[in-house]
Amino acid sequence: MVTRVDGQGVVRRRMADMGITPGANVFMRRAAPWGDPVQINVRGYELTLRKAEARSIRVDVKSPTSSKRW
């Protein structure tokens, strides 16, 4: 979950426009071979960010829960 978005001006506004705001759940989908860019899912949308942009997003990391069915 996003706890805060660092940065100012255009960067912060762009993140907000994409739905990356405090309280939003963010899921890491994949990263390019050298780590740039990264693909994330926010509010049901698939987004691609440069690593420099992604660094401005602060999150509270939760482990995925697994449910086993017997």
CATH code: domain 2-59 is: 2.30.30.90
pLDDT of residue 25: 93
Of 4, 12, 11, 47, nearest to 27 (Cα)? 47
Query: What are the sequence ranges of the domains in the chain?
Result: 2-59
Of 65, 45, 30, nearest to 15 (Cα)? 45
SS3 category, 18 = coil
Residue range 28-58, pLDDT digits in tens: 899 888 878 999 999 999 999 998 888 899 9
Quick one: residue 9, left, alpha or beta (phi over 0 = left, psi -120 to 50 = alpha)? left
Residue 58, token pair as written in the block: 């602060």
Mean pLDDT of 13-37: 91
pLDDT at 64 exceeding the cut of 50: yes
pLDDT band at 70 (very low <50, low <70, confident <90, very high): very low
